[in-house]
Amino acid sequence: MSTIHDLPVEMLDEILMAIDDLAALEGAVLSYRRFYNIYKARKDVIKRRVQRNALGGDNGIAALLRMIYIEAVLRNYPPTHPTNPSWHVDHFLVDIKPLKEDKKNTPTASEYAICFERARICQRLEVLYSRSMKDRHTDTASRLSLEESDRFRAAVYRLWLLGMYPRSKVQSLCTDAATRVQLFYDGYTAQEVYDLHCVLDWFKEIVGELLPADDTLHRTFSTSLSCRTGV
């Protein structure tokens, strides 16, 4: 029977490149000399790939960066406008129009710190999602495929961004159907919109299970979420 010791160097390299956690990479490198030798020879390349995987691939990084950029736009708006109370709402869609998800964007050092903090939260959510939707025997590691994992993480990051709008100066854009569609879905493919709603439905199910069925908070949550997302 073949073992890991029989694998060619190229395959061992691919194993390291598929890891999505820096701690797991360190454990693999320290546990097997051939892994260590490969990592030593290609440390920068392998580490960058693992970081990329940890953030959810190119789509995940693009979604995270867009969230950071739009947060900055909202944060830099003045609290009030002296002559036009709706100034923020009037300008927001124009201000964020250039801020599309761009896979060519690379995070700065400070942006990486924010990205990894949010990716750690997303990773924990993915384990719960895997247990609910993929394999109930999921323990501490997600059993989603690499593609499923990347799609899940990108969807969570996009929902994270959408969740900021109702709590911001541009809240009214979320309640108007004409602007809500543009705000929530502009630039996303049909598959990405589908993924958003799959994860959103899961969130609603999980939160619904935690609240009493006859509780006012349960009804308020469901109604509020439906109004804000249009579902």
Q: Digits of tens for pLDDT over the chain (231 positions)?
A: 678 888 999 999 999 999 988 889 999 999 999 999 999 999 999 999 999 999 999 999 999 999 999 999 999 888 777 677 778 888 899 999 999 999 999 999 999 999 999 999 999 999 999 999 999 888 888 999 989 999 999 999 999 999 999 888 888 888 888 888 888 888 899 999 999 999 999 998 888 777 776 655 545 444 455 445 544
What is the C-alpha to C-alpha distance for residues 154 and 134, in angstroms, rounded to an integer?
A: 18
Q: Please name which of 153, 187, 137 lies closest in space to residue 55, comparing C-alpha atoms.
A: 153
Place of tokens 């693992």: 50
Residue 2's pLDDT is: 75
Question: Residues with Cβ < 8 Å from 179, sequence gap 6 or more?
Answer: 93, 173
Residue 104, pLDDT score: 93
Write down the pLDDT at residue 209.
78
* Whole-model pTM over 0.75: yes
pLDDT at 124: 93
| pLDDT for 216 | 56
pLDDT at 103: 93
- Domain extent listing, the chain: 4-50, 55-229
